Amino acid sequence: MRSFCLLFSALLLFPAVSISQDHPTRIASVQFEGNELVSTAQLKMALRYCREGNSYVAALLPNDLLQVEKIYRDAGFLKVQLGLPDVRIQAAGEEKTAVIRITVKEGPRYTTGKLAVRETKAIAAETLMQLCPLKKNQPYSPDKASQWQARVEDSFRALGYMGARCPLRESINESGRTVDCTMECAEGKIYTVGKINIISGGAVNPLDLKKRLFFSEGGIFNPEMLSLTLQYLNQARIYEPISDSDVDMKMDDENGIVDISLRVTPRAH
pLDDT in tens, 208-252: 999 999 999 999 999 999 999 999 999 999 899 999 999 999 999
CB within 8 A of 54, min separation 6: which ones?
26, 27
pLDDT of 256 strictly over 50: yes
Contact between 221 and 196 under an 8 Å Cβ cutoff? The reply is: no
CB within 8 A of 192, min separation 6: which ones?
160, 218, 219, 220, 221, 256, 257, 258
Neighbours of 3 (CB within 10 A): 14
Contact between 226 and 251 under an 8 Å Cβ cutoff? The reply is: no
Instruction: Provide the pLDDT for residue 15.
Output: 38
Instruction: Provide the pLDDT for residue 1.
Output: 45
Contact between 179 and 171 under an 8 Å Cβ cutoff? The reply is: yes
Closest CA to 152 of 113, 118, 110, 190: 118
pLDDT of 109 strictly over 70: yes
Instruction: Provide the pLDDT for residue 21.
Output: 44
Which is higher by pLDDT, 240 or 15? 240
CB within 8 A of 163, min separation 6: which ones?
187, 188, 189, 191, 253
Q: In the chain, what percentage of residues exceed pLDDT 70?
A: 90
**What does residue 157 show for φ and ψ, rounded to 5 degrees?**
-65, -30
Which is higher by pLDDT, 15 or 221? 221
